[in-house]
Structure 1
Amino acid sequence: MENEPAEPTEEQTREPQDAEDDFALGSLDFDGLSPTDFEEFCFDLMSESGFSNVDWRKGTPLSSSPSDRGRDIVARKTLTDIDGHEYEERWFVDCKHYKRGVPPDALQGTLAWANADRPAVVLFLASGYLTNGAKDWIAEYERTNRPPFRIRVWEKPQLLKLVEKHLDLAFKHDVGTSTLRRVSEILAAESELTERLWYGRKPTDEDLAANDWSEDIKAAVREGKRMAEKEYGVDVLEKDVASDWDWGYLSGRASAIRWVLGDDWHNLDS
């Protein structure tokens, strides 16, 4: 009697679209952004998400935005009816970059201004979450006031889904994730590897003294070497050139990280 076919595994029975879910950013971290940085991120997010005429109402080069009159961004969204007729909706966007949950009183000014200016949608875009009190307050506001606009809330889970579709935004604004390095971390690592490559290519102090370079160049090289030794430690720098394998390992790391940053493979300039 032939063996019964094995039951398909969960991996084999997954729908094709489930495979796309294997790639995820995990979670977002906006702690490295100032409120103004977060507004700039939101501006780019709206632009990349199909909105047009996106206007950042900053009104000043200062870090705060006193001139926004209750909304940080104004944008337009083009919609199409079933008969092909196109029309635009105007959205007011209020960006909330809070360490803790956004409270109800942080929402009132925007809704008061919206009542006067009548957009189609008021969007609260939070780097974290609205408090339960704020969500209850919005529900009660809609029930008792029946505003002439819709109120939408994008919190961290909604931002995560949008950023996964526009990864360049995370890199551009140095948004942290639990599965990808920040751009600032990548740049710091590349800088370290470049300095270690530079050190490894320089002659020892004894060989430098016998070199026919000018004294100014010799002095600059010595100063650079002392700075590198102080930053990374003599043991680390000597280990980089201890063998061909060690030097190749350092070179490979530098080449790989530079490729991530847009350079050609095998760029080992220092």
Structure 2
Amino acid sequence: MLGPRPRSSTSATSTPTDFEDFVFDLLQTIGFVNVDWRKGTPKDASPSDRGRDIEAHYLLTDVDGHQRFERWFIDAKHYDKGVPPEALQGLFAWAQAERPDVALVAASGFLSNPAKDWVEQYRRSSAPPFRIRYWERPQISDFLAKFPELTYRHEIYEQDAMRPLAEIQAAETAMYNRRWYDKSLTRDHFVEKGQVEPLPDDVREAVLTARKQIEDELGADTLKVSSDWEAGLWAGKHSALRWVLGDEWDNLDT
């Protein structure tokens, strides 16, 4: 299912409203226009959407160059389990009444097998004047592969494939603090040897306070650098984390 934490599951959004927001952004990204999120209320519930969460248009060009818009009704379904048949009935009822070109169900996971059977039965028995489409996790994952910027905007990741942005940022902050802590101790060593000037008293006090905060957060035992090799390892990790976050390679400033 597309959803948020924990890292043990494929993830994208935590609530139905978050998933609707993602689908809204996805539609705009892949070329839909006049995308209207029919939420009707700032609350998570959307009682006034009239059978669809989003309405949008898609521009098509015929072989003779004539352009026309298709009207799509989109219902975003964020379920921990398979989407049940009854969850689809509102979309199809309003589509039957208002006649869009396409009724699309966008699911964060999968439609249940009873839901898929119900869709096929509906196609045969009702001969709807609109096409029925549904996007499940594999189709949405394909879109994410084509438009990776969506993964950053909505903190979406595939299982064991990529860590959330917030986790990467926290790792970079921790690595910065580790390296700053080590450099501040190294400066003390040079002060003792008379190779650099001592810091002013107020600056020295701020440095000691910052060290204590880092020790409390990361653990004093984890801040010891045992060799030049380990110091280089920390620097390499820090450079890589900064690069992932958009910085240039080899930025090792602390």
TM-score range, shorter chain: 0.7 to 0.9
TM-score in terms of structure 1 length: 0.80
Cα shift at 1:31: 5.8
1:263 aligns with 2:251: no
Q: Structure 2: which amino acid aligns with 1:234?
A: A
Aligned counterparts of 2:60 and 2:99: Cα–Cα separation in 1: 18
Q: Following superposition of structure 1 onto structure 2, how do residues 48-127 of structure 1 map, counting pairs within 5 Å? A: 48-127=29-108
Check whether the contact 1:28–1:156 (CA below 8 A) recurs between aligned residues: no
Aligned counterparts of 1:75 and 1:159: Cα–Cα separation in 2: 17
Alpha carbons of 1:167 and 1:31: their partners in 2 closer, same or farther (altered >3 Å)? closer
Check whether the contact 2:12–2:155 (CA below 8 A) recurs between aligned residues: no
Aligned partner of 1:220 among 180, 183, 206: 206
TM-score in terms of structure 2 length: 0.85
Q: Following superposition of structure 1 onto structure 2, how do residues 180-191 of structure 1 map, counting pairs within 5 Å? A: 180-191=162-173
Check whether the contact 2:38–2:53 (CA below 8 A) recurs between aligned residues: yes
Moved over 6 A (4+): 204-208
Structure 1 residue aligned with 2:178: 196
Q: Secondary structure at the match of 1:220?
A: helix
Aligned counterparts of 1:121 and 1:227: Cα–Cα separation in 2: 57
Note the residue ranges of structure 2 that are not aligned, 5 or more in a row. 1-7, 192-196
Q: Secondary structure at the match of 2:150?
A: helix
Equivalent pairs counted in the alignment come to 241
1:44 aligns with 2:20: no
Check whether the contact 1:28–1:175 (CA below 8 A) recurs between aligned residues: no
Cα shift at 1:202: 2.0
Note the residue ranges of structure 1 that are not aligned, 5 or more in a row. 1-26
Structure 1 residue aligned with 2:5: none
Structure 2 residue aligned with 1:136: 117
Aligned counterparts of 2:237 and 2:188: Cα–Cα separation in 1: 29
Aligned counterparts of 2:9 and 2:66: Cα–Cα separation in 1: 38
Structure 2 residue aligned with 1:14: none
Check whether the contact 2:55–2:72 (CA below 8 A) recurs between aligned residues: yes
